[in-house]
Amino acid sequence: MSSDAVVEYRREGDIAVLTINNPPVNALSMAVRTELLTHVEKTDADPDIKAVVLICAGRTFVAGADIREFGKKLDGPSGRASMEAVEASEKPFIAALHGTALGGGFELALAAHYRIAVPSARVGLPEVNIGVIPGAGGTQRLPRLVGPEAALDMMTTGKHVAADKALALGLVDEVVDQDTPEALLEGALAFARRLIAEGAPLKRVRDLDDKIRDVDPAVFARIRETRGRKWKGLLAPWRIVEAVETACASSWEEGYAFEDRAFHECRDSPQRAALSHLFFAERQATRIPDVPADVKPLPVRSVAIIGAGTMGGGIAMAFANHGIPVRQVEVSDEALERGREIVHRNYDTSVERGSMTRATADENLQRITGVTDYADIADCDLVIEAVFEDMALKQDIFAKLDAVMKPDAVLATNTSSLDIDQIADATRRPESVVGTHFFSPANVMKLLECVRGAKSSPQTLTTAMSLAKRLDKVAVMAGNCDGFIGNRILAAYGRQADFMLEEGATPSQIDNALKAFGLPMGMYLMRDMAGLDVGWRIRKYREQFRDKSQRYSPIADRLCEMGRFGQKTSAGYYKYEGRNAQPDPEVEQLISSISQELGIARHSISDQEIVDRVIIAMVNEGARIVGEGYAIRASDIDVTYANGYGFPRYEGGPMFWAERRGLAAVYDKVCAYNKEHKDFWEPAPLLKKAAELGSWKAAEEAMADG
């Protein structure tokens, strides 16, 4: 085998073993496809070969097509060609699976005649997460093997199925006893020898049809009905349903052809580019340039959480759901009991919704205990403070933690707006202090915004960032500026929305325009849900630092002075009957009177103007944050907004949205707003540079080179 070959061929008696070796995840690159096809033709032509084992070196079986090749014109065989050759072979092909056999990797396995796996293997067709559909026969072979409903569930959720479940579903034919590469190879060879000895038939999945005939069309109507709302704005999940529908209603050839057309339609759609951007951006966000890659995270085997309120409860569940024991600390046993009721209620809701079994919920709940004495948490590896957003209270708690916690414990705060350095200075070990900003509900939201203090050590930072992988979240590193990344941008576009209220828009108009753009919820509905008093307390604290020469909208303060705190008082920007929000003429009257007071002539504002001003405010503030060094790269802004603020993933995030729209055009818009509105529209230097160079990456590199 030549040194740069990615598929190795060797013989074990009359069995050929093809080993794919293309680190890091054996992606089905052009090189792999080409060499694989060559070896299949070779084994087909060799009369001494009676069976073929397909196996991978390294940490996983093929984890999919090479996403980096999307959109590139490459000469050579398609993934389909190599899989058709495997399936058509007259020699039994046994795919031996370990790690994560995903996408094109699992399609290759489905094209094989038999599949065996190690106990820790997982299989899936998660293409929908990057905006495409399985394009190498997956939408046609999977329903033939497990039926349309299980196939639709796997492909529209992108979930990974564990080996034991895969065996039960018939996705794999055998699971070997041990979790080792040796056991897998031995198991595959033994399986092949049995097939040869028994002269077993070739099980071509494409020829199976017992599970796809006479399928009740309601199966497809039901999934469109139940999941359609979640798929708003998306292309791929709808095409997956059509492809499986076609598989059940027509021939292999027609279904296979439909899949190919739909795959290319999705691959060439802007959504795919946006979702692939996020795929790689989320992986890059884990890299902190000034933290060497060999700095290992400290172990986190036990966690303490100070405060068992809204966030404390959610954070406790996030850790407990991932097998990590948690001790909650509260001011009293009553407060602990109150906290436990919050967690209990949340688990009951998960069980009622069917997203967790009662047994699992009870198991997780067992991992959460309560204490009131700090001595009972001294040995924990990590402590996260989630008490009221009050600096003096947090400093008091960190001084106490400094006194009792073991020397190498990591001391984290869930503050959403306070200065991390001020909190750290309340201890004698500021190097162990870091921000771990979770988002509500903390057991659900994907984003973990880690905030570095001036003295946070590389190991403390790495430990905080590594929590995301443990908790199945996405981490981003933010600098210690006001509002960090997420809330600082939220303040910037919230301001523009408030100004547009004064200029002529209404809360429902703005919310509807943002929802139509793809945000899951409008700005004012979101504020009413979080509670207007939370922001009011922060604004009152900040009033002492506010630059009074800059424009300020008093609308939110006036609503709070009227006791309108949102849903909790059945009145905020909207009035509420239960959870049902209604526009309130009293609020529109208040806003008009404020416009008059400020001498602002109200005029009609288009929905497009609303979306542009809000999203471009996000982009300009994002560029300012990167330019000031409080975010490492522009794509981290996208990761933050797509995982923590509901920015539609199919738009890739605000910075990607701007790049696709044309950075020069966005820059011109900012300059126009600056001319018309002045306050807060000074173009960010990084945006100016990016407009000149045509990309954020080029601008970041230029700025780095000074």
Helix (H) or strand (E) holding 371: strand 368-371
Which of ligand T1G, ligand NAD, none lies near 92, with the C-beta cut-off 5 to 8 A by kind? none
Q: Minimum distance from CB of 413 to ligand NAD (Å)?
A: 7
Q: From the CB of 419, what's the least distance to ligand NAD, in Å? A: 12
Residue nearest to ligand NAD (CB): 309
Of 332 and 580, CB closest to ligand NAD: 332
Residue placing its CB nearer to ligand T1G in the complex, 20 or 102? 102
Question: Which partner from the list ligand NAD, ligand T1G, none does 590 bind, CB cut-off 5 to 8 Å by kind?
Answer: none
Least distance CB 385 / ligand NAD (angstroms): 8
Query: Closest approach of Cβ 542 to ligand NAD, in Å?
Result: 13
Length reported for the chain:
706
Least separation in angstroms between CB 119 and ligand T1G: 17
Contact set with ligand NAD (CB under 6 A): 306-312, 329-331, 335, 386-389, 393, 397, 414-416, 438-440, 530
- Helices 696-704 and 634-644: crossing angle in degrees, nearest 10, is 130
First vs last Cα of the chain: how many Å apart? 47
CB of 266 to ligand T1G, least distance (A): 9
Residue numbers 268-297 binding ligand T1G by CB under 6 A: 280, 283
Per DSSP, the residues of 47-76 read TT--EEEEEE-TT-S--SB-GGGTT----S
Q: Which stretch binds ligand T1G (CB under 6 A): 57-65, 84-92, 290-298, 344-352?
A: 57-65
Neighbouring C-beta atoms of residue 39, cutoff 10 Å:
18
Based on the shown chain and the rule CB under 6 A, indicate whether residue 64 belongs to the binding site for ligand T1G: yes
The residue type at 165: K
What is the C-alpha separation between 247 and 242, in angstroms, rounded?
9
Three-class DSSP labels, 386-411: CCCCCHHHHHHHHHHHHHHCCCCCEE
Which one, 224 or 338, has the nearer CB to ligand NAD? 338
Closer residue to ligand NAD, CB minimum distance, 154 or 306: 306
Tell me: does residue 654 bind ligand T1G (CB under 6 A). Answer: no
Partner whose footprint covers residue 270, from ligand NAD, ligand T1G, none (CB < 5 to 8 Å by kind):
none
Nearer residue to ligand T1G within complex by CB, 67 or 475: 67
Q: Contact at 8 Å (CB) between 155 and 139?
A: yes
Which residues of 521-622 form beta strands (DSSP E)? 574-577, 580-583
Binding letters toward ligand T1G, positions 96-135, x by CB under 6 A: ----x-xxx--x------------------xx-xx-x-xx
Q: Which is nearer to ligand NAD, 88 or 331 (CB)?
A: 331
Q: Can residue 138 be called a binding residue for ligand T1G (CB under 6 A)?
A: yes
107 in active site: yes
Name the 3-class secondary structure at 533. Answer: helix
Give the separation between CA 507 and CA 286, rounded to whole angstroms. 37
- Interaction partner, residue 66 (ligand T1G, ligand NAD, none; CB < 5-8 Å by kind): ligand T1G
Check 35, 84, 87, 127 and give the catalytic one. 127
Q: What percentage of the chain's residues is helix, strand, coil (to nearest 5)?
A: 55, 10, 35
Residue 574 interacts with, from ligand NAD, ligand T1G, none (CB under 5-8 Å by kind): none
CB of 328 vs ligand NAD, minimal distance in Å: 9
Query: What does the alpha-carbon distance between residue 474 and residue 285 come to, in Å, rounded to a whole number?
Result: 9
CA nearest to 595, candidates 492, 496, 493, 499:
499
Query: How near is the Cβ of 141 to ligand T1G at its closest, in Å?
Result: 11
CB 401 within 8 A of CB 411: yes
Nearer to ligand T1G, 58 or 531 (CB): 58
Spot the catalytic one: 107, 245, 449, 502. Answer: 107
The total of other beta-carbon atoms located within 10 Å of residue 628's CB is: 13
- For ligand T1G, what does the binding mask look like between residues 65 and 84, x meaning CB under 6 A? xxxx----------x-----
* Token pair of 182 as six digits: 């040796």
For ligand NAD, the closer CB: 486 or 652: 486
66 vs 528, beta carbon nearer ligand T1G: 66
Q: Binding partner of residue 24 among ligand NAD, ligand T1G, none, CB under 5 to 8 Å per kind?
A: ligand T1G
Residue 409's binding partner, choosing from ligand NAD, ligand T1G, none, with beta-carbon cut-off 5 to 8 A by kind? none
Distance CA 205, CA 193 (A): 21
Q: How far is the CB of 451 from ligand NAD (least distance, A)?
A: 11
Contact present, 159 and 127 (Cβ < 8 Å): no
172: which DSSP letter? -
How far is C-alpha 659 from the chain's CA centre? 21
Locate 572 and state its tokens: 């905020």
Nearest CA to 367 among 405, 332, 321?
321
Residue 451 or 686: which CB sits closer to ligand NAD? 451
Looking only at residues 211 through 240 of this chain, which bind ligand T1G when binding is defined by CB under 6 A? Answer: none
Q: Tell me the closest approach of the beta carbon of residue 215 to ligand T1G, in angstroms.
A: 23
* Total chain residues near ligand T1G (CB under 6 A): 26
Binding ligand T1G (rule: CB under 6 A), the pick from 17, 36, 56, 63 is 63
Considering the complex, what minimum distance in angstroms separates the CB of residue 247 from ligand T1G? Answer: 15
Cα distances from 96 to residues 54, 102, 167, 453, in angstroms, run 6, 13, 13, 47
In the DSSP assignment, the letter for residue 552 is -
Could you tell me which residues are beta bridge partners of residue 123? Answer: 101, 161
For every residue of 631-646, DSSP letters joined together read: BS-HHHHHHHHHHHS-
Least Å from the CB of residue 280 to ligand T1G: 6
Three-state SS at 117: strand
Burial of 56: CB neighbours in 10 Å, binned 0-12, 13-18, 19+: buried
Go through 485-500 and write b for each residue having 16 or more CB atoms within 10 A of its CB, e for each that does not: bbbbbbbbbbbbbbbb
Please report, as residue ranges, which positions from 524 to 583 form the binding site for ligand T1G (by CB under 6 A).
Answer: none
Nearer to ligand T1G, 24 or 199 (CB): 24
Q: What would the x/- binding string for ligand T1G be over residues 25 to 44, using CB under 6 A? A: x-x-----------------
Amino acid identity for residue 278 in this structure? L
Choose among ligand NAD, ligand T1G, none what residue 644 binds, the Cβ cut-off being 5 to 8 Å by kind: none
DSSP state of 684: P
Exposure of 628 in the CB half-sphere (CA atoms within 13 A) = 16
Please, are residues 157 and 297 in contact by the beta-carbon 8 Å criterion? no
DSSP readout, 338-370? HHHHHHHHHHHHHHHTTSS-HHHHHHHHHTEEE
How many other CB atoms sit within 10 Å of the CB of residue 186?
Answer: 14
Active site residue 431: no
C-alpha closest to that of 19 among 159, 133, 188: 188
**The entry of ligand NAD, ligand T1G, none that residue 200 binds, CB within 5 to 8 Å by partner kind:** none
| Residue from 118, 123, 136, 445 in contact with ligand T1G (CB under 6 A) | 136
Q: In the complex with ligand NAD, which residue's Cβ is closer, 308 or 491? A: 308
Which of ligand NAD, ligand T1G, none binds 68 (CB below 5-8 Å, type-dependent)? ligand T1G
| Contact set with ligand T1G (CB under 6 A) | 24-25, 27, 63-68, 79, 100, 102-104, 107, 126-127, 129-130, 132, 134-136, 138, 280, 283
- Write out the catalytic residue numbers: 107, 127
